[in-house]
Amino acid sequence: MSSTLPLPFFGGTCTKAAFSFSLKSSSPLVPFQRLHLFGSTSRTTTRIRSSLFHSLKAKATAELVQDKESGVVATGKPVVEHSRTFVEARSEQELLSGLRKEVDAGRLPPNVAAGMEEVYQNYRNAVFQSGDAAAVGVVLSNMTVAFDHWLLDVEDPFVFEPYHKALREPFDYYMFGQNYIRPLIDFRNSYVGNLSLFYEIEEKLKQGHNVVLISNHQTEADPIIISLLLEKTNPHIAENMIFVAGDRVITDPLCKPFSMGRNLLCVYSKKHMYDIPELAEMKRKANTRSLKEMALLLRGGSKIVWIAASGGRDRPDPFTEEWYPALFDSSSVDNMRRLIEHSGRKRNWRKKNYHLSWGWIINSTTNQLPRNCRCL
């Protein structure tokens, strides 16, 4: 797994041995996970992926801006006849040759096709490391669905509202994400600690309380991983958690189908507010709308919201290359505090609304992640 890549990518070249450690906290009630992921052995670089994202982001953001400014959802568009090239693939060769077919037909941009092929190779390598006898079939099945929906979004791009509710029909994007990431998790060596706390959270949600999980963030697959590790014991939390999401996962064509299966509050990160200077004002207005949506949700009660208060994923130190948990942005924490205080559900948010830190413990032979977590 590489934390520099977005959700569909799990490639890396680190060869250092895996490590295991524990989190010490002054509170025994920290939601705690120990996670082991199967990592890709692929030596491919992120050059294609980076080029793909940056070449499409400006266009995608501009289109998203236009839709948001007009206040009109992208509906009423001419019906696009969807190609069945990938759905009909019965082997790896047919699937990959389908990329060339779609590029030649002008239905798929060459850079998107290159990114899709890179995803396939990284995903295939990672799943094969699991030792699952059915790995070949799993990879072909999951990647066939992924290719088909990436092409579908190129043909008819989906536009996210400030508050996006997971799409479960006619195609179940939630289960698509679950099934795609599931083979990458070594469940035999992964567990959720303090499980009783999640049962308590479910009871509080039933009583109308709001719950906010404030955590660090390592990979864009975090929302799906959380759901996978809770789906058997706490399916209500797994399926109803609302994630505060940055613009990358709602504009990158290779991330969008996974994002469509999650409940999202879409915001623009302050770190990238001025990446395209002429869009900065629009981004601020969009964030204001998203905050209003969050306020309305919290007033209704029984909501569980996850936010990475550092504003993005954890990064390695540029000099030591050691991974460390990014510091929380105090303004993000204060915004959540104010929203809770004005939700009207309970007057004393400290006693009646539960703000919890999420401690991640990652053990992987292909990635070095934080040796400690900063808990709020």
The residues that are catalytic are: 156
Using an 8 Å Cβ cutoff, are 298 and 275 in contact? no
Q: From CA 173, how far away is CA 167, in angstroms rounded?
A: 6
Q: From CA 8, how far away is CA 123, in angstroms rounded?
A: 8
HEC string for 27-85: CCCCCEEEEEECCCCCCCCCHHHHHHHHHHHHHHHHHHHHHHHHCCCCCCCCCCCCCCC
Using an 8 Å Cβ cutoff, are 236 and 302 in contact? no
- Partners of 242 in the β-ladder: 263, 305
HEC string for 240-305: HCEEEECCHHHHCCCCHHHHCCCEEEECCCHHHCCCCHHHHHHHHHHHHHHHHHHHHHHHHCCCEE
